[in-house]
Amino acid sequence: MKFVDFIKSKLFFRHLALMVVVTLILIWLILQSLKLYTRHGQFILLPDFTGKPLDELVQFADEKGLKVIITDSIYNEKMPPRSIHIMDPQPNTGVKSGRKIYVTIISSTPDFVPMPDIRELSLRQAVETLNLAGLRVDYLSYVEGPFQNSVVGQRIGTRSLRPGELVPRNSKIVIIVEKGEIPMPVAVPDVIGLYPNDAYNSLFRSGLNIGKISFPENIPRDSAQVIRQYPGIGAQLPVGSNVNLVFGQVKSSKQLQILRQNNLYNDSIVVENEEEF
């Protein structure tokens, strides 16, 4: 009965209330400690430094208590050296003080790749081999020889290249190709809707060169697509001839079909003003 009397007494309720208060205080203190330890809610919004100098990110990181770690560097002739190419975490991400920012920057010097031996390959094989090696085709230079589209040499500009010689990645290589004893004309391929590199390589593989090209000002070049080619699709040309290209944007499959129809070769149509290319 004494225990029953105790839990009914004011003393019991005072102790119970005190225990509840102490427990709540302990819980509050623990939560506050966790917030202080993790800096709960204190995020730093990481701006977009892509394309900007590395020094700007380093200065920002020093001011905010962040760390910058360079994980890789690549060469891109279109971007200034020591500018930021990739950020991790991505821009506009909330980060906490002490976080490491991993970046890939633009190198001041290109990386080099060995020149593959494309001699005695077919033209199609040579174009693919250069692409796989990280190189590009400058143009096709046709010379006298018995086998049409057989590759007999390679050079940068006017300088001949030896197989295995180191050249900057993305260098433009001139492919020297034989005309053949009786050169056969080649058909202009359909490059409508293709992006620049794909269109260029399609023409090179066919034994044709790039003539005049036109890009719109409001579309990045890598995102532009061929909307007109002259001579048109299917025209028969001597090897090494130029094909002119106009780039724009193809917004639908229906538009692509119309463009292809409009670019079919018709020998009854004479284009009077070729200068627009």
pLDDT of residue 277: 39
pLDDT at 187 over 80: yes
Write out the two tokens for 102.
């991993």
Instruction: Find, among 145, 206, 211, the residue nearest to 177 by Cα.
Output: 145
The number of beta carbons lying within 10 Å of the beta carbon of residue 101 is 22
Q: Can you tell me which residue has the tokens 């991790």?
A: 88
Least confident of 45-49, 85-89, 95-99, 139-143: 95-99
pLDDT exceeding 70 applies to what percent of the chain? 88
Q: For residue range 122-173, what is the model confidence (pLDDT) as tens digits?
A: 999 999 999 999 999 999 999 999 999 999 999 999 999 999 999 998 899 9
Q: For residue range 46-79, what is the model confidence (pLDDT) as tens digits?
A: 899 999 999 999 999 999 889 999 998 888 878 8
Domains present along the chain, CATH in parentheses: 44-106 (3.30.10.20), 110-183 (3.30.10.20), 185-277 (3.30.10.20)
pLDDT of residue 108: 82
pLDDT at 15 over 90: no
Q: Binning pLDDT at 50, 70 and 90, where does residue 221 land? A: confident
Q: Binning pLDDT at 50, 70 and 90, where does residue 272 land? A: very low
Q: For residue range 230-245, what is the model confidence (pLDDT) as tens digits?
A: 999 999 999 999 999 9
C-alpha to C-alpha distance for 266 and 75, rounded to whole angstroms: 44
Q: Is 65 left (phi over 0), alpha (psi -120 to 50) or beta?
A: left
For 4-19, b where at least 16 C-beta lie within 10 A, e where not — what string?
eeeeeeeeeeeeeeee
